[in-house]
Amino acid sequence: MKNLISLSLFILFSISISAQVSTQWRSTNRDGIFEESNLLKQWSEEGPDLLWYNDSLPTGYSSPVIGEEFIYVTGLVDTLDYVLALNKVGQEQWRQAIGEAWTESFSDSRSTPTLIDNRLYVQSGYCWVACFDATNGDEIWKINAFDKFKGKTGQWGYSESLLVVDDKVLVSVGGHETNMVALDKNTGETIWQTETLNDTAAYASPILIEENGMKIAINVLSNDVFGVNVDNGEILFKHNYSWIDDEDAYALWNSAGASRINTNNPVYKDHQLYVTSGYNHVGAMFQLSDDFRKIDLMWTDSILDVHFGGVVLVDEHIYGSNWINNSNGEWCCIDWKTGEAKYVQKWKNKGNIIFADGLLYIYEEKRGHIGILEPNPEKFEVISSFRIPHGKGPHWGHPVIKDKVLYVRHGQALMAYDIAEK
């Protein structure tokens, strides 16, 4: 591991710690939108200044989460997933084993930790769920949720980044006994478990909405999109997202041979819920009733079938990349209200997308180019781009922005770039 600047110089860039901490997967609200300001609007040909990097981490596809003192990542060592704490110049401070990793295919760790009240909540590829002290790494509790609740997962194991709400840690285990469970965040004891939908866990992470005095967790399994009352575990709504429903006006499947591999968390706004998945699985917009007990399909879109790069919603438009095949994809914009395609543009390859300070950040998965552009539904025009220099394997880690620093995970490497406006 090489530090490219001294600690004292780095402190000049990061001495100010804001009150809001990026504590979980894809930012505070899990929507890919980072509440940052005064960021660079253009980069040099080499990209923004690289503050530091660590290329000696255990391998992983997850994102980092940024606390006030430490940066947290997960990584695979032999057959176990680990969570690690790094200081603010990328030096490892401690690591702890989470539990058994998924070792059958694409085994690198994938769960992004959740940081709440100085505790880390994280899941392994075989659905060990653990809580650690975020300062020293001490284990507070750990359970094997897969065995305890007789879970069922697909061919790539569990990839959920845990949602913590009040005193509950929510886990989408799937299977024939339950759909989602709530564990006590202090002890790991079971608070509730939902009825079963007899579905297989997918690879998406739930979102939380708070409306009409209710807290509702929404996620996607292999077949169903569903919403759960966080207070008591009641399933409020469900809709099969995997096949053609004769009663619906639209088909929810483009190809009979397409895989049920749902990886993207849903997007919610004003009782409307958008779900997208790759492999010719159409995107779908659903209307939810005021009491969240009824769900109706509004429209489908066959353009923006996102593999696993996520989407962002900016000014009534959805931005992301589509799936042509596992090695190729394009960048797209569609209308939130109608699903109408605004543009479909080739740039490098498909990949991940986030938003901050008026700009979209896109990170293509094949060779690791990162670009910035304005969220303009009329045109796709990259302002600046560069290629990250460190790490190996697919570029699947979603970027993170915190305190004017862009963090990029690539396999065994984590890089930190200064993107503060000069």
**What's the domain count of the chain?**
1
Q: Average pLDDT over the chain, rounded to whole?
A: 91
Give domain status of residue 138, yes or no: yes
β-pairing, 71-77 vs 65-66, is antiparallel
Q: Which residues pair with 216 in a beta bridge?
A: 209, 229
pLDDT value of position 259: 56
pLDDT value of position 255: 52
* Cα atoms found within 13 Å of the Cα of residue 8, Cβ hemisphere only: 0
pLDDT value of position 154: 87
Q: Which amino acid is at 25?
A: W
Q: Are 122 and 159 in contact (CB under 8 A)?
A: no
SS (H, E, C) the chain: CCCCCCHHHHHHHHCCCCCCCCCCCCCCCCCCEECCCCECCCCCCCCCEEEEEECCCCEECCCCEECCCCEEEEEEECCEEEEEEECCCCCEEEEEEEEECCCCCCCCECCCCEEECCEEEEECCCCEEEEEECCCCCEEEEEEHHHHCCCCECCCCCCCCCEEECCEEEECCCECCCCCEEEECCCCCEEEECCCCCECECCCCCEEEEECCEEEEEEECCCEEEEEECCCCCEEEEEECCCCCCCCCCCCCCCCCCCCCCCCCCEEECCEEEECCCCCCCEEEEEECCCCCCEEEEEEECCCCCCCCCCEEECCEEEEECCCECCECCEEEEECCCCCEEEEECCCCCEEEEEECCEEEEEECCCCEEEEECCCCCCCCEEEEEECCCCCCCCCCCCEEECCEEEEEEECEEEEEECECC
Nearest-angstrom CA–CA distance, 234 and 80:
34
Nearest-angstrom CA–CA distance, 203 and 201:
7
Token pair listed for 346: 């080739």
pLDDT value of position 261: 85
Cβ-count burial of 381 within 10 angstroms (0-12 exposed, 13-18 middle, 19+ buried)?
exposed
pLDDT value of position 243: 64
pLDDT value of position 39: 98
Nearest-angstrom CA–CA distance, 373 and 154:
36
Nearest-angstrom CA–CA distance, 415 and 57:
11
Look at phi and psi of residue 227 and say left if phi exceeds 0, alpha if psi is from -120 to 50, else beta: beta
Give domain status of residue 2, yes or no: no
Give domain status of residue 208, yes or no: yes
Other Cβ atoms less than 10 A from the Cβ of 315: the count is 8
Domain with 360 in it: 7-418
Give domain status of residue 185, yes or no: yes
pLDDT value of position 242: 77
Nearest-angstrom CA–CA distance, 357 and 122:
29
Other Cβ atoms less than 10 A from the Cβ of 68: the count is 13
Q: What does the buried/exposed string (b/e) look like for 22-31 if buried means 16 or more CB atoms within 10 Å of the residue's CB? A: bbbbbbeebb
Token pair listed for 201: 């866990």
Residue segments in the chain with a per-residue pLDDT below the cut of 50: 2-22, 246, 248-249, 256-257
Q: Cα 172 to the chain's mean position, in Å?
A: 15
Q: Is the dihedral of CA 28, 33, 35, 39 positive or negative?
A: positive
CATH of the domain at 243: 2.130.10.10
Nearest-angstrom CA–CA distance, 239 and 80:
35
Give domain status of residue 414, yes or no: yes
Nearest to 170 by CA among 72, 53, 65, 30: 30
Nearest-angstrom CA–CA distance, 335 and 357:
21
